[in-house]
């Protein structure tokens, strides 16, 4: 091409460049109500909770995850990433060293003072707080938007919602079952009505006997459990094994849950993490409540 031809084409090329749409800023409101803004999709993400790391992978952004916290064990790839401490106390210097362009945290699980410190440093911080089953799908879509993996995230969210709908259609209208969900033995901890596990119980036709408590993970006493007389006790514990302490309730043979043999266990990874696997845990809970219904005394004619 001659110099004269290039001069004639220059105005046309400039016009074409100017006509290209500028990349829009990414703007997403997080669960704390703050709006997170990114100029471009995140490429270096740090997760501040095990459930967050799992959500990031499920949203198709696992290759953008550069750091996690302790107990980030699923999927397997998450185990191999650098750790920046635990969700209840993380190492801010270690986070900064990873040079993230997005940090995703857990509003009720991360220390408020450390969250405030990160915000004061100007780190782009997105907080999750999924208190209801539907919130998991919403978080997937939000992470997909922030990471530029919208198609994968939308597909994962749609699959999750369809599965949730199917479980609700099958179990939510079943005869109600009074349930005590035990998180831990000492102190004796349960879940309040605003906690996502309480929503799982409702999905399965269960009724959380401590649903009126507003704390997410309140401490109760043995006398309160005995007074509530649950038909079912479900324990989680710390790992895949059934905790021995769930059988301590057998000291009270007149309690309905004990008298009918309704002392159950669900692995905590399936019920205490706000991820798509929550519905795996929900399926187990629903099956357990069906067992409890089958053990009810036959109605007298």
Residues 154 and 176 in one domain: no
Give the pLDDT of residue 238.
Answer: 74
Q: Are residues 228 and 284 in the same domain?
A: yes
Say whether both 178 and 148 belong to one domain: no
Note whether residue 6 is domain-resident: no
Alpha helix (H) residue ranges in 20-58? 50-58
- Residue 3 belongs to some domain of the structure: no
Same domain, 27 and 99: yes
| 2 part of a folded domain | no
pLDDT number for residue 17: 39
| Whole-number Å distance between alpha carbons of 219 and 227 | 15
Domain shared by 39 and 153, yes or no: yes
**Same domain? 278 vs 153:** no
- Contact (CB, 8 A) for 155 and 147: no
16 within a domain of the structure (yes/no)? no
What integer pLDDT is reported at residue 14 of this predicted model? 44
> Is residue 37 domain-shared with residue 145, that is, in the same domain?
yes
d(CA 196, CA 134): 10
Same domain for 262 and 193? yes
Residue 188 in any domain: the answer is yes
Could you give the number of structural domains in the chain? 2
CATH of the domain at 283: 3.40.50.1980
Judge if 131 and 249 occupy the same domain.
no
Is there a single domain that holds both residue 236 and residue 191?
Answer: yes
* Alpha carbon distance 77, 66 (integer Å): 11
DSSP states of 58-97: HTT-GGGEEEB-TT--SSGGGGGS-B-EETTEE-HHHHHH
Domain residues for the domain of 140 are 22-158
Q: Choose the final residue of a domain: 158, 190, 221.
A: 158
- Whether 237 is covered by a domain: the verdict is yes
So what's the pLDDT on residue 29? 96
So what's the pLDDT on residue 4?
A: 55
Residue 212 included in any domain: yes
Cα–Cα distance between 195 and 274 in angstroms, integer? 10
Is residue 126 located within the same domain as residue 58?
A: yes
Choose the final residue of a domain: 108, 124, 158: 158
Q: Which of 98, 128, 158 is the last residue before a domain boundary? A: 158
DSSP sequence for 191-205 = --TTSHHHHHHHHTT
Q: Residue 237: its pLDDT value, please?
A: 76
Whether residue 152 sits in one domain with residue 72: yes
* Residue 2: predicted pLDDT: 56
The list of the chain residues with pLDDT below 50 reads 7, 9-10, 12-22
């Amino acid at each position: 091409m001659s110099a004269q031809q290039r001069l004639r084409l220059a105005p046309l090329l400039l016009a074409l460049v100017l006509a290209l749409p500028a990349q829009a800023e990414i703007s997403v409101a997080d669960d704390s109500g703050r709006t997170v803004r990114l100029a471009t999709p995140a490429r270096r993400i740090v997760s501040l909770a095990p459930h967050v790391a799992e959500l990031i992978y499920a949203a198709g952004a696992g290759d953008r995850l550069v750091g996690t916290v302790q107990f980030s064990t699923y999927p397997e790839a998450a185990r191999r990433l650098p750790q920046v401490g635990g969700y209840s106390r993380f190492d801010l210097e270690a986070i900064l060293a990873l040079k993230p362009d997005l940090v995703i945290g857990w509003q009720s699980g991360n220390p408020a003072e450390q969250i405030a410190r990160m915000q004061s440093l100007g780190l782009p911080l997105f907080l999750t707080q999924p208190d209801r089953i539907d919130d998991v799908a919403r978080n997937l879509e939000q992470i997909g938007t922030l990471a530029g993996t919208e198609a994968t995230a939308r597909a994962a969210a749609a699959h999750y919602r369809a599965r949730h709908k199917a479980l609700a259609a099958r179990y939510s209208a079943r005869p109600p079952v009074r349930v005590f969900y035990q998180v831990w033995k000492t102190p004796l901890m349960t879940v309040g009505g605003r906690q996502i596990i309480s929503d799982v119980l409702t999905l399965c036709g269960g009724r959380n006997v401590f649903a009126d408590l507003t704390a997410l993970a309140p401490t109760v006493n043995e006398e309160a459990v005995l007074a509530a007389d649950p038909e079912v006790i479900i324990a989680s514990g710390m790992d895949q094994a059934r905790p021995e302490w769930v059988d301590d309730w057998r000291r009270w043979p007149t309690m309905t849950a004990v008298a009918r043999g309704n002392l159950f266990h669900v692995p905590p990874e399936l019920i205490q993490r706000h991820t798509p696997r929550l519905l795996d845990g929900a399926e187990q809970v629903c099956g357990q409540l069906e067992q409890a219904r089958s053990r009810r005394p036959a109605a007298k004619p």
